[in-house]
Each structure stands twice: as C-alpha cells, then as structure tokens.
Amino acid sequence: SVFGEREQREVSRLIQEIGIPDAPIFQCDATKTEDVDRLFSQAGEAFDGKLHGLVHSIAFAPREALSGDFISTSADDFRIAMETSVYTLVALARGARSLMQAAWEGAIVTLTYLGGERVVPRYNVMGVCKAALESSLRYLAYDLGPDNIRVNAVSAGPIKTLAAQGIQGFSSMLEQVAERSPLRRRVTADEVADAALYLLSPLARGVTGETLFVDAGYHIMGM
C-alpha cells in the first residue's frame, strides 16, 4: 500500500520494472482507522482472504523536530512522530491479524535504526520513536505468537532515501559508516531488502521479536 498519489506513481513504475504489472496497489493513511480497515478489506478481496507477509516502512517527524536539540521537541511534534512512526505498526498488525490467521501463518517486518539504541546527534525524536518501535515489536511478537505470526525488525545502516534528506548532517553519517564499519563500506537498499525477505520467509520460521542489523557491522563498534 502507499500513502498518496506520488507514492502510487513511484510504486507503479517499480512493479512495471520488476515484471509484476498486475500487482494491486492500495492507498492508505495508516494513521486513520478507516483507511486501515479499508486497506485490509481490499487486501482480503485481492488475496483470497489470506495474507502471509506485511512490511511496515512508515516514519515521519516534523522538520522542526529534526533540528536543534531533542529537549526542544514540542508536544505536538512528539505526538505526530510517535503516532506515525510507531503506532501505525500496531494498527497495521491488528488489521492484518485475521488475514494471517486464515493463512495459518504470518510474518511482519518493520524498519528501524541504530538511533533507537544509541544517541545519534540530530536524529532527535526519531531515535526515541525507533526505541518505542523496537519495544512495540517485541510486545506484538508476544501477542501474535500463538497465531503463528512472527514480528521482527531490520535495523538498516544509513541509506540515501527521501526520508533521510530531512536529517541534518546525513552526508557525514554516510561517510562515518563507510570509514568505521568492519566491512569499510555502506550497505545498499538491496541488502536491506534481502534481510527483510529472509525474515518474511519460512527460512526465519523460528525467529520472532528480533532486530536484525544490516549495517556492515557498524553497530558493533565502540569507537
């Protein structure tokens, strides 16, 4: 699913490129209950009432919250960032549950970042959101485990994306990872996607509640 028309055009182009032009695309604002309900109603119709996998890749914070000091974050900006970046995982997992129960299995993967565990200057409220996201996935893994639904996360190294453009000093973050990671390079979007595919696949059928780092080993470094 996508948020708006711009994203829909991009996804349409992508599915044409990879050879699945008939794949359905649904618009959904995951912060709105009615949109989430409609999304899974449409998905149920499109996929014979069953759903095996869900990738949550949603994050947002107002630009003001990503500049200056974290202590200056306003209550409104904090709420918006948390609702969009964290609660949407809960809402989507709840919406997908019945379709995954019908499939007798399911896997949910979300995307996080090292800033949820360590201080990354200027990442600010998004770091707090990622910490909450990682805690949420563990509680979801506990709740959904009896339904044979797994919930995990991929913690990706910094990659040039539209979302990353809003983070001050992002270019220096890229350089630092390339210099200090054990593999002496940055990770690619394909490597992150491969890790997500693993967690969605039966190869990871015994894995839930985990965060898998895909950052060229940067997270293990002390200095």
| Per-residue pLDDT tens over the stretch 8-66 | 788 888 888 888 878 899 999 999 999 999 999 999 999 999 999 999 999 999 999 99
Distance CA 221, CA 223 (A): 6
Q: Which of 87, 113, 139, 142 is catalytic?
A: 113
Instruction: Compute the distance between CA of residue 107 and CA of residue 116 in angstroms, rounded to an integer.
Output: 22
* Short-list 158, 44, 160, 171, CA closest to 112: 158
* The pLDDT of residue 3 is above 80: no
Band the pLDDT of 166: cuts 50, 70, 90.
low
Claim: this prediction has a pTM higher than 0.85:
yes
pLDDT band at residue 163 under the 50/70/90 scheme: low
Average the pLDDT over each of 123-132, 152-161, 198-207 and give the range with the smallest value: 152-161
- Please say if the pLDDT value at position 203 is more than 80: yes
* Mean pLDDT confidence for 187-192: 96
Tens digits of per-residue pLDDT, 122-139?
A: 899 999 999 999 999 999
Which position among 123, 139, 198, 218 bears the catalytic label? 123
pLDDT at residue 167 greater than cutoff 80: no
Distances (CA, A) of 107 to 15, 29, 41, 144, 187: 22, 21, 19, 10, 24
The answer to whether residue 113 is catalytic is yes
Higher pLDDT among residues 167 and 200, named by residue? 200
- Average pLDDT over the chain, rounded to whole? 93
Q: What is the CATH superfamily name and number for domain 50-220?
A: NAD(P)-binding Rossmann-like Domain (3.40.50.720)
pLDDT classification of 159: cutoffs 50, 70, 90: confident
